[in-house]
């Protein structure tokens, strides 16, 4: 899952980025509202963590502009201000949730996961495709009763494929949701990860859940293969 953090305080931005990357998210940081709006238009993010008080374009305006563009990316708004008025105002501009600084990172993660689940239709906490299960909160993956150990990157790719179960996802789409702007390597890296995922979640169990759709990408079988 790829997250945009729009935050002008460097320490806060860095700690959010480091914390989210450690949780397996791909993260881009914008240091003002203008950059935030630009990035949000360039990349289809899975969620945006948006500070309210920002140089150039503030969080309210940024959020409202996104919604006017018909961009419904989940937005978690951060504010140093406290008060119900701000909260109502934030939600009125189209933010999906709200967190007052200072907040605990654990709470931010929980709220973010809730937003990612809510995306589109209601989604279960634990993702499953047949007997393949993935828990975004605990980072556990199971095939039936067997726990499967994945690297952070493998986990992110599998999570994305499982959220899109039944749909064909292109290599470019996987790149966009799993890697951040700092990645300038070969897009064929996706193939390498798909191979290692198959070795872990499919081949040992005699399954073929991650299908290759020639010329188009990959597809996670709804029944887990």
> Where does this chain bind Ca ion (CB under 5 A)?
8, 51, 53
Q: Is 114 exposed, middle or buried (0-12, 13-18, 19+ CB in 10 A)?
A: middle
Alpha helices, DSSP H only, in the chain? 10-22, 33-42, 59-68, 84-92, 105-118, 152-163, 171-178, 189-197
CA angle 142–144–149, rounded 5-degree value: 25
Tokens of 119: 């995306």
Phi first, then psi: give them for residue 48, nearest 5 degrees: -125, 130
Residue 9: CB minimum distance to Ca ion, A: 5
Residue 7: CB minimum distance to Ca ion, A: 6
Q: Which is nearer to Ca ion, 50 or 127 (CB)?
A: 50
Q: Which is nearer to Ca ion, 36 or 225 (CB)?
A: 36
Q: Which is nearer to Ca ion, 103 or 183 (CB)?
A: 103
Tokens of 212: 């290759």
CB 7 within 8 A of CB 78: yes
Residue 79: CB minimum distance to Ca ion, A: 9
Residue 46: CB minimum distance to Ca ion, A: 22
Residue 121: CB minimum distance to Ca ion, A: 33
CB 57 within 8 A of CB 36: yes
Residue closest to Ca ion, measured at CB: 53
Residue 185: CB minimum distance to Ca ion, A: 33
CB 188 within 8 A of CB 145: no
Phi first, then psi: give them for residue 23, nearest 5 degrees: -85, 0
Residue whose token pair is 């495709």? 129
Task: Give the Cα separation of 173 and 65 in Å (integer).
Answer: 24
Q: Which is nearer to Ca ion, 80 or 146 (CB)?
A: 80
Q: Which is nearer to Ca ion, 53 or 99 (CB)?
A: 53
Q: Which is nearer to Ca ion, 16 or 148 (CB)?
A: 16
């Amino acid at each position: 899952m790829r997250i945009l953090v729009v935050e002008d305080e460097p320490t806060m931005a860095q700690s959010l980025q480091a914390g989210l990357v450690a949780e397996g998210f791909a993260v881009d940081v914008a240091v003002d509202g203008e950059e935030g709006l630009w990035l949000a238009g360039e990349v289809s993010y899975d969620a945006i963590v948006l500070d309210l008080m920002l140089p150039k374009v503030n969080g309210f305006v940024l959020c409202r502009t996104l919604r006017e563009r018909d961009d419904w990316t989940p937005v978690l708004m951060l504010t140093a201000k406290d008060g119900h008025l701000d909260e109502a105002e934030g939600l009125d501009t189209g933010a999906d949730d709200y967190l007052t600084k200072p907040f605990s990172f654990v709470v931010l993660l929980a709220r973010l996961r809730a937003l990612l689940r809510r995306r589109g239709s209601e989604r279960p906490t634990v993702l499953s495709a047949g007997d393949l299960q993935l828990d975004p909160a605990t980072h556990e993956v199971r095939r039936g009763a067997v726990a499967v150990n994945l690297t952070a990157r493998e986990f992110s790719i599998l999570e994305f494929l499982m959220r899109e179960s039944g749909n064909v996802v292109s290599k470019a789409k996987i790149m966009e949701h799993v890697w951040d702007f700092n990645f300038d390597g070969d897009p064929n890296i996706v193939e390498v990860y798909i191979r290692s995922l198959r070795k872990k979640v499919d081949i040992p169990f005699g399954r073929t859940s991650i299908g290759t759709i020639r010329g188009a990408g990959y597809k996670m079988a709804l029944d887990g293969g």
